[in-house]
Amino acid sequence: MDVAKQANKIIKEVLEKLTDEKDIARFKDIPEIFNNAAGMVNGNKINEALLNVWMLSEATNAVFLLWRRGIEHDEVEKELRKLPSTDEVAAIYEKAQEPDKKEAEELEQRRRAYMDKQHELDIFKAVLNGESKERAEAKYEEYKKKLAQSLGA
């Protein structure tokens, strides 16, 4: 969480330099947001990595705003440049998510296997209700197509 802490420090320094109320309003809540989010990390590596990405992105935006407004920013930019790039911390966040993504994929495979089994049962039930197997299959395919459309696929 060192990256996020340093980014928070940078944002506070930027806030001291900003003079336009709209610019100040853009960044004034970030230190409180950081404190609230940091209190929720509780050792969760994914949350910590996301906090680092978000705070670094906000700090980069804040320093860029100083540059854009022509406000002295050399020292605060030096502090920002000591930190890893946003791409580097984003890669750490992506890597931290891999176990969860793997678990989600495994669950999705199990769900699909279950749905395939249910499909067979639904066709069998339709046959018991007097449908031909071919007609039941056609109705099921139509149902799947409508479901996919409703879900935006």
CB count in 10 Å sphere of residue 57: 14
Question: What's the pTM?
Answer: 0.72
- Per DSSP, the residues of 84-100 read PPHHHHHHHHHHHHHHH
Residue 26 — pLDDT band, cuts 50, 70, 90? Answer: very high
Tens of pLDDT, residues 36-57: 999 999 999 999 999 999 999 9
Classify burial at 151, counting beta carbons within 10 Å of its beta carbon; exposed 0-12, middle 13-18, buried 19 or more. Answer: exposed
What pLDDT, on a 0 to 100 scale, did the predictor assign at position 117?
Answer: 85
* pLDDT surpasses 80 at 152: no
- What is the pLDDT, as a whole number, of residue 71? 96
Parse the chain into domains and list their residue ranges.
2-84, 101-150
**Model confidence pLDDT, tens digit, residues 45-94:** 999 999 999 999 999 999 999 999 999 999 999 999 999 999 999 999 99
Give the pLDDT of residue 113. Answer: 87
Contact 63, 81 (CB under 8 A): no
Mean pLDDT of 84-109: 92
How is 24-73 classified by DSSP, letter by letter?
HHHHTTHHHHHHHHHHHHTT-HHHHHHHHHHHHHHHHHHHHHHHHHT---
Q: How large is the average pLDDT for residues 89-114? A: 91
